[in-house]
Structure 1
């Protein structure tokens, strides 16, 4: 299987990718770069960057928001940490992978180091994301309705993200089909991720895409210097799928339609900076607001969602109605409804709408106190291919209003335009990057395949407005 992936990647590097895939890559790269800027607000981002700068090394690639260049693998690590830390990056369904947050940082770092063209970089990102998704889907059990990776406590995003990152980096470093297969063989011994922090706490999940991106770049560099991997690294008796999935995998997900059918354009962007299960509830709140409903008019609200998501966004309901922090609000169905009904920045709600202050706002809490989250059969039938919501609102004058939001904004059924993604980017970089600079970067990155000076494209994001002001 690694040989088939290698041949596919080599073909794409030489002969190109479909136009709709190319366009999607530009959008995903812009999205990730904006998130890297926005994530500088987190203390864990500062810690990761300080760690990298402390290592020293050759100036090969850019960390977003850092004037000093570092070696390519370390730049991939730092940007991967930044890209995934806000839980605002894209999502593939039904595997629930976040592939761009590792593949894009790995590819950009390798491309700067190798002096690659925008065209090759775009092709490499596309293939890397495709490989990550296909490996993730090989671990998706349709009868179970869940990823076998998750059932085993594994973070598929970082595990398959490392593999996809390695293929992208290998293409950029000029490896042929055999070399790319060897890179997969090396990376399989480096890919990792445990999701216990989702259950009991800790910030380690923010490292996962960084570690995956770093592994991918490192593996490609090692193969270029002569290291090799096992040819049966994926399906072998002691290979990737046996080690991670205990042999329970679905190989046709990897090879069927490879090169003809692309997953990349169908990956869901996140329009709102919150758990993806809450997004259709935000949309329902927006729809009620557009009908003229105000918080004072609300008697009660019932948010119906897929039963398996209730435990994430609706239980315990007392906690979900009273989040203490913006992070807790990101996982609250009641807060999602309140945010949508009240409205905010970005594409309807932005990062500033999920602050600790707003999570504790008395007016929002009064509205959240009226919201229940329950399982809904119609939503069960659609999940996990969408994260739908059926929201029933009773007004203080006795009317019962219903909003069914059965598809997610940002997915294939309701795609975000270039203009909307540029608006999300502008919201994420506001206060750190000047408006005219942000607009110029958006234009260049959306046309990544045409870039002839990739370091020049990234340079405006290496120094923030605040950095400039502080140095005066």
Structure 2
């Protein structure tokens, strides 16, 4: 770990030995991925994540914030360069990246990398697709651009993971690594789609670092601002790549410099080896966790524990007390303030409630166990659910602390009205490498997300084209079926 910032003002390369800076090493990696290709398992994973993101973009049309974001973009006007999911009119590439990024992250159903605890695809995929449409890039280059962008976002996130602390330093500072490092990954992805070379990618990172942002207080006390974060990240990346094409430049020491990215965000405490070790040889992309449930990832094992208790015959009317044991670091997100977490006012607040997650699992739901229709305002305020949530305590569990943040484990104990005590431990997350979602489960998730807006035949055709994205010569034609569909008008929070 770097304990304090190095003063690099006398060395424009940023390296004591005059070697390449971190940004230059990332740019070299990304440029090589674009020209030489990526491993087959990485390309396959990118196609799956692109399908996942686009399905989420369709599903997010149920939210009033999605209507607001798209309306805001359409009001801007401008050249028709790229597509918004669910909007017939094309818009500028930066606006398309923003709108689709907002849609992709709005349901908290997008993928997560651990232990960096960030959601990389919801910004990188929209940025890459928008830039690819604008530039006329091939599907093959688009897949490679997404792969490189995801890897950059994840590695920058991991540079902020402190194993001694057992948590992301970004998170400890109240910063949303998803939007901060996601913007940087988006810049690389968009830059590759636009044809930037190594130097251009360094400049794109240099510009984007001044555009990246995001804070997480909304996770604690409410607000829908977090839904904007991946949109602004994707927009920042595309904007930076376009500005570099027009001549703007950035500092080569943008990451490790005295006034650079890591000093600004992490006060100089970061792990550069997380960026460079195995770069280009060991890929993080296939190990990013897919989400089976549309809620904050910290709550997923709580849902699983609730489902397991229901399978053991526990009935709601028999519950006297529930103790939800989780890693201490996640309590502030899913357990505090406890009064709010036991009585969420909206479906969105319910997505960040540990008590709600246990109850939702215990009562059962749709999709892969709980689905989008299990997180509505009506259910968040349902008296029967609130009665159960009032019996839930959220506590730090030492066993869970040992595992976090490589998994988000939960240990749920129930005391029944007859005095019986039952314990369910869920120590690994479904959707990750230890409990992967099958192709059929990912298809089920996509079909559930687009149900009612795309016909079954169209949904299946889109799925096949997205999974074969590397073979297409026209990204716009692949996205076209997703730009017009039936808006069911089922807006709710």
Q: Which one of 466, 469, 472 corresponds to residue 451 of structure 1?
A: 472
Residue of 82, 98, 103 corresponding to 2:119: 98
Partner of 1:241: 262
Q: 1:182 aligns with which of 198, 203, 210?
A: 203
Could you tell me how far apart the structure 1 residues matched to 2:96 and 2:225 are? 18
Matched, 1:405 2:426: yes
Summarize deviations over 1:365-419 as a string: whole Å, max 9, x none.
3333333322211111111111111122334454432211000111111111222
Q: Which runs of 5+ in 1 are unaligned?
A: none
Aligned pairs for 1:172-251 (under 5 A) are: 172-251=193-272
Q: CA deviation at 1:84?
A: 1.3
CA distance in structure 2 between the partners assigned to 1:152 and 1:265 by the alignment: 28
Say which is worse superposed, 104-113 or 385-394, in terms of deviation. 385-394
Counterpart residue number, 2:96 = 75
Q: Which moved more, 1:1-10 or 1:137-146?
A: 137-146
**Is 1:364–2:385 an aligned residue pair?**
yes
Task: Quote the residue 2:329 is aligned against.
Answer: 308
Q: CA deviation at 1:316?
A: 4.2
Rounded to whole Å, the distance in 1 between the matches of 2:118 and 2:332 is: 20
**What residue in structure 2 maps to residue 393 of structure 1?**
414
Equivalent residue runs for 1:35-50 within 5 Å: 35-50=56-71
Q: Is the 8 A contact 2:167 2:329 kept in 1?
A: no
Residue in structure 1 matched with residue 169 of structure 2 by the alignment:
148
The Cα of 1:92 is off from its aligned counterpart by 1.3
Q: Tell me whether 1:128 sits opposite 2:153 in the alignment.
A: no
Query: How many residues of Structure 1 are paired with residues of Structure 2 in the alignment?
Result: 468
When normalised by structure 2's length, the TM-score is: 0.90
- What TM-score results when the alignment is normalised by the length of structure 1? 0.94
**CA–CA distance in structure 2, aligned partners of residues 153 and 342 of structure 1:** 33
Q: Give the Cα separation in 2 of the matches to 1:317 and 1:59.
A: 47
Question: Quick check: 402-411 or 442-451, which moved more?
Answer: 442-451
SS of structure 2 residue aligned to 1:465: coil
Moved more, 103-112 or 435-444: 435-444
CA contact (8 A) 1:434 1:465 kept: no
Write the deviation string for residues 242-292 of structure 1: whole angstroms up to 9, x where unpaired.
Answer: 222222221111111101111111111111111211110110111222333
Q: 1:124 to 1:312 in 2, by over 3 A?
A: same
Question: Which residue among 87, 90, 95 is the counterpart of 1:66?
Answer: 87
Cα gap change, 1:364 to 1:243, in 2 (>3 Å): closer
C-alpha displacement of 1:304: 1.5
1:289 maps to what in 2? Answer: 310
Tell me the secondary structure at the aligned position of residue 122 of structure 1: helix
**Gaps (5+ residues) in structure 2?**
1-21
Corresponding residue of 1:116: 137
Measure, in 1, the Cα distance between the counterparts of 2:65 and 2:389: 30
Pick closer, same or farther for the CA change 1:112–1:283 going to 2, 3 Å: same
Residue 169 of structure 1: aligned partner:
190
2:443 counterpart residue number: 422
Deviation, 1:181, is 1.3
Task: Tell me how large the CA RMSD over aligned residues is.
Answer: 1.9
Q: How far, CA to CA, are the matches of 2:120 and 2:304 in structure 1?
A: 24
1:149-208 Cα offsets, whole Å, 9 max, x none, are 233332221111111001011111111112111211121222222334334543322222
Provide closer, same or farther for how the CA distance between residues 398 and 87 of structure 1 changes in structure 2, counting only shifts above 3 A.
same
What is the deviation of 1:318? 4.2
The separation in 2 between residues aligned to 1:372 and 1:101, in whole angstroms, is 32
Query: 220-229 vs 338-347, which deviates more?
Result: 220-229
Residues 345, 427 of structure 1: 8 Å contact kept: no
Q: Distance in 2 between matches of 1:288 and 1:196?
A: 32
In structure 2, relative to structure 1, the CA distance for the partners of 1:199 and 1:357 (3 Å cut) is closer
Residue number in structure 2 paired with 1:275: 296
Report which stretch shifted further, 310-319 or 235-244: 310-319
